[in-house]
Structure 1
Amino acid sequence: MNKRYSTIIIDDEAPARLGLQNLLKEFPETFNIIGTAQNATEAQQKIETLNPDIIFLDIEMPSCSGFELLERLTIIPMVIFCTAYDQYSLEAFETNSIDYLIKPVKLERIEKTVQKLKTFHVKNTSDEILKVLKDISNRKEPKKMTSITVKKNDKIIFIKLEEISFFEADSNYTTIHSEQGTFLSTETIASLENKLPDNFFRIHRGIIINKNYIKEAQKYFNSRYIITLNDLKHTNITSGRSYSESIKINLGFF
C-alpha cells in the first residue's frame, strides 16, 4: 500500500501556491495537503507545529531563501523544490530525499515525483540534506528566471519571460505587457527587478523593458531617450533622466 504524505506548500506567490495545490489534488492517494505558507517565518512555524512528511519549497523568496529556511530547521522533512531558476536544477537534487520542479510545474512532472516517492526507503539525515544544499548554493551560475505566474479570475496563467515586452509599475502592483495581453502581478517593480535576467533592465522608475523587444532608441532632451518597442502596439516609452547611464550601457550609446 502506498504511503500518503502530509504536505506543506511554501511559496511567496499566491498564484503559484494555488496552482501547485490544484496539481497535487490530482494525487489524493499520495499527498495530504495540511497547510501552505507564504514566507519563511510562517513556513518554519507550520513545519515545527505540523511536522509534515514533505514540503514543496520555493527557493527564491523575499528576505529569506528556501535554503536559509532549511538551515533554521532542527528536523528537515523530505524537500521538493519548486523554482523558476534553472541554475538550481542540477544532479545534486538526485538524492532519495530531494527532488526539484521547474516552474511552470506540469502535471506530468508531478507524476514523476509520485513515482520517485514510491522508491523511497530511508530518509536522508538533516546534515546530509544541508550538505547538498550548501554545494548547490555555492555554485556561481547566473540566475535564469524563465516565467512568471499571475492569477486571472479563477485561472493561474503562466507567462514566459520571452513573451513579455515590458513591466509597468501600477501602485503596489505591476502590469505585465506580453504577447498574451496585459496582466496584473502582485509583485512590485523593485522585487521583479531583482529576479529578472539580464535582458530586462530599468529605463524609468516605473518601467522595466525587455531588451529583445527594442526596435529603436532615439536621444531625447534632458538626458532621456525615446524607446520604441517591437510589440503589437509599437509602444513608445520615454526614459527617466536618472537611467541614462544604464541605457547607454545596455544599448551601446557612447
Structure 2
Amino acid sequence: MNALLVDDSRLARTELRHLLRAFPEVTVVGEARHAGEARTQLQDLQPDILFLDIHMPGETGFELLASLDVAPHVIFTTAYDEYALQAFEVNALDYLLKPIQENRLAAALAKARTKLMTPAPVSALAPAAGPEPEEPAPALLTEQDQVFVKDGEQCWFVRLADIRLFEINGSYTQIYFEQHRPLIPRTLQHLEQRLDARVFFRANRQQIINLKWVESIEPWFSNTLKIKLRGGGPEVEVSRQQSARFREMLSL
C-alpha cells in the first residue's frame, strides 16, 4: 500500500512515518505540507492511502477532498475530536487522534487493506466472467477501534473497549458506556459479526456483553449464569446454551 502524508507539521509527519515503519506492507511515497502540495502529489503519485490532517494553512483537509474528482482511501489524523461526524460523512476509513497510537494505526491499516482487497465492481456492459464474487465479510473491529455513535442530536466517538453492554431495545440496540445509553439502528446479529468474539460475548438473544467489564458471576436457575457488569446497567442472565459455552470458553 502506497501512502501520502499530508500535515503542515513536520514533526507530525516524521512521527507518523516512524510509526509506519512497523508496517512493512506500507510504503510512504510522499509528504505534503498543505492542500496545494497534496493535490499535485496525489496526481503524480496516485497513492492508495491518504493520511490527512484537517487544520492546515489555506485549505482544510475537507476542502482538499471536496476539490478532488477521485480520492484515495482517507485516514484523518488530527488533534481535534469534534470533526468525527464530518469525517464519516465523507466516507473516511478512520479518524486517528494525535498523538497516534500504534494499535489504532494498525486497526486503520487493516480497514484499508480490506478495502483495497475488495474487487472493483464490473461494468454492466462488460461480458460476464463467471459467477459474482461473494460480498466480503465486514471488517472485524478490535476493542481499541473507535466508533461513531449518533442518537438524535447527540454524537459520540467512543472506543469499543469502553462499551460494556449492547442490548436490544425495541427495533434498536442500546449501547452502555460511561453514563450514556444511546440507541442505534443496528441489530445484535449485525454487531456480533463485527465484534471480536474473544471480548464481546453474546449472552442471550437480547444482550452482548464486554467480558472485560464483568464484575461478578453467580450460578442461576437451570444451570445458567447471572453476570453483573462494572459501571452499572442491568444484570445479565446468560441463556442455558450460552452459559455452557461461557464455561467452556473461559475455563482452564
**If the length of structure 1 is used for normalisation, what is the TM-score?**
0.48
Higher relative contact order (CA 8 A, sep 6+): 1
